[in-house]
Amino acid sequence: MSHTAYTLYSWLWDGSNQKVGLLGAVFSFFITTLVISLWQHWTLRKSRKPIPPLPPGPRGLPLVGYLLFLGTNLHMVFSELAGIYCPIFKLWLGNKLFVVISSPLIAKKVVRVQDKTFSERDPPISAQIIACGCMILHLTLTAEKDDTTSEQKDFLQFLLELKDNEGSASPITMNQLKGMLMDLLVGGTDTTSTMMEWTMAELIQHPEIMKKVKKELADVVGLNSTVEEGHLPNLLYLHAVIKETFRLHPPLPLLVPRCPSVSSTVGGYTIPKGSRVFLNIWSFHRDPNIWDNPLEFQPERFLNDPNKFDYNGNEIRYMPFGSGRRRCLGLPLGEKMLYFMLASLLHSFEWKLPQGTEHDMSSKFGIVMKKKKPLLLIPTSSLPNLELYKK
């Protein structure tokens, strides 16, 4: 044994407890630290999942570009961008991040799987002013009959009672009441008048379909009576005509944008908290992979299975009123008004364009998709009994 080795050996094992104990402690600490570090690194590397990227998309637009962009038919532009990038893409407008979804399968993640996460809104200042600045978080109504009277209370009476009853479990203010009623009425009337115009425009453009609708009305209602609410469930072809109109001309082609409450992953991409998410249902309804001859007006496509495509958004390929928690509030009111008014007008009158008028089916930009040129028609009575028009 060399002198050096013998010296080291003697230093380690010469009985000096102090040196051996210190070296052993240092060695143990080193080994323990190394094992813990390797274990933590391996564990973190195994459990750490890479954060999905943001969706692809074009470069952002400055303020001037943003204002010019808003002057276009966004649903059409978004459909073209979806073809360039992918069914889910991002768009920076100023400092706002917009995410546009043009695929029903991806949209299902938003309106069904993660409906709660995407159920918030990011209303602009103008909308808050119009709605009296109110956001009703909780409202409890009891649909009970008053013991003192046989009269059944309507929705407005319940709201007024809640406003006046300060001891109620969920009292509301007058501003909240105004905002709620305005949301209900605007959602059910503006889109209704728009869809009446689009339906009449399609029927004028397709006289053979108009003839079928008139025949059905004559068979169900009769020429000696006017349309009543009880007739509506039996007007199956008229229902198909209106559904086909909603498919080609959804009143809100991008619906109302949603705002995720937390950052989420949809379609393999990150949707950051606070971004605005548009569902391009105009693109859904014209997708050739979903619909046969999607650009043609064919009401018959809704006759085979009339309950499959309803207005409640249960079939994700067809949701003109949205789906999930954020389905249109004015749906019940708007649906009944639209069906009854169209049936009455079509049954009671013959309609034609003024002589020399060009039939224009183009649309104009707006939150609600309306005709670029208002429809002008001339009515003539079609019922033999003129007394029916006095009712």
Contact indicator for 379, 346 with CB cutoff of 8 Å: no
Number of domains comprising the chain = 1
3-class DSSP assignment, residue 61: strand
3-class DSSP assignment, residue 171: coil
Query: What sections of 131-173 are H helices per DSSP?
Result: 155-164
What is the C-alpha separation between 104 and 279, in angstroms, rounded? 9
What is the C-alpha separation between 202 and 209, in angstroms, rounded? 9
Query: Has residue 174 been placed in a domain?
Result: no
Q: Which CATH number fits the domain that encloses residue 101?
A: 1.10.630.10
DSSP code of 366?
A: S
Binding positions for heme are 328
What is the C-alpha separation between 105 and 94, in angstroms, rounded? 29
pLDDT tens, N- to C-terminus, the chain (391 residues): 555 444 444 544 454 555 556 666 666 766 777 777 777 777 656 555 678 999 999 887 665 555 555 666 788 888 888 989 999 999 887 788 999 999 999 999 999 999 999 988 776 666 666 666 656 555 554 564 455 555 667 777 777 777 776 666 666 777 777 777 776 666 667 788 899 999 999 999 999 999 999 999 999 999 999 999 999 999 999 999 999 999 999 998 999 899 999 999 999 999 999 999 999 999 999 999 999 999 999 999 999 877 788 898 888 899 999 998 888 877 887 888 899 999 999 999 999 999 988 889 998 877 788 999 999 999 999 999 988 988 6
Binding positions are 328
CA 308, 311, 313 angle in degrees (round to 5)? 75
Q: Please report which helix (H) or strand (E) contains residue 379, including its range.
A: strand 378-381
What pLDDT shows up at residue 148? 53
Query: Has residue 194 been placed in a domain?
Result: yes
User: Of the candidates 195, 176, 193, 185, which has an alpha carbon nearest to the alpha carbon of residue 244?
Assistant: 195
User: Of the candidates 112, 24, 97, 19, which has an alpha carbon nearest to the alpha carbon of residue 57?
Assistant: 97
Domain residue limits at 337: 63-122+183-390
pTM recorded for the entire structure: 0.77
Tokens of 150: 């046989």
Query: Has residue 19 been placed in a domain?
Result: no
Amino acid at 104: P
What pLDDT shows up at residue 4? 47
- In terms of residues, how long is the chain? 391
What is the C-alpha separation between 217 and 92, in angstroms, rounded? 50
Query: Has residue 279 been placed in a domain?
Result: yes
